[in-house]
Amino acid sequence: MAKVAFLLASNFEDSEMKNPYEAIKEAGHQAVIIGLEKGAECKGKKGTVSYTAEIGAKDAKADEFDAVVIPGGSSPEALRVNDDIVRFVKEANEQGKLIAGICHGPQVMISADILKGKAATCYIGIRDDVKLAGADYRDEEVVVSENIITSRTPKDEPAFIREILAKLN
């Protein structure tokens, strides 16, 4: 069983959190929500789901997790400016852990400077940022590049979830 960190702040894209989170739990893995502060309520931008952060960013330790998932929406913008979130993602990458981001999720990867030399995709609005971070941008539903998995939008969730589960099993 893998222990998977979900990095979350409010205004995430509802389905990009809910669907991978539920699929990972259904597959028998442990899913833990890491937020900016422990106990913080994180609400989806569409208002269909909300979650409570189980661990605050300052207490998150990459060596306690097997994988990291970063849902999209506006949540990554709030996460990427938090030094503890960025440290966590950098450490997870240094340890070779799986790091998956969908839509705007790669913004956190950009801030952690882990995309250089990797292939990646994302929401088209941050395509140039992904390229400038040194990634080989690809307009595909899911891109797997070593330990990094990226997807573009909610319609890509089935492929995103499939690739995460394939790496976890």
Domain-by-domain residue ranges, the chain? 3-168
| 103: annotated active-site residue | yes
Question: Which residue of the set 29, 42, 104, 122 is catalytic?
Answer: 104
The CATH code of domain 3-168 reads: 3.40.50.880
pLDDT at 135: 98
Q: Average pLDDT per run of 10 along the chain, which is 169 residues long?
A: 98 98 98 98 98 98 98 98 98 98 98 98 98 98 98 98 96
Indicate yes or no: pTM above 0.95.
yes
Catalytic residue status for 122:
no
Of 29, 42, 103, 122, which one is the catalytic site residue? 103
Instruction: Specify the amino acid at residue 69.
Output: V
- In angstroms, the CA 21 to CA 4 distance is 9
Measured torsion, CA atoms of residues 13, 65, 97, 51, in degrees rounded to the nearest 10: 0
| pLDDT given for residue 169 in this prediction | 85
Give CA–CA dist 122/57, Å, rounded.
24
Q: 157-168 and 14-26 helices cross at what angle (nearest 10)?
A: 30
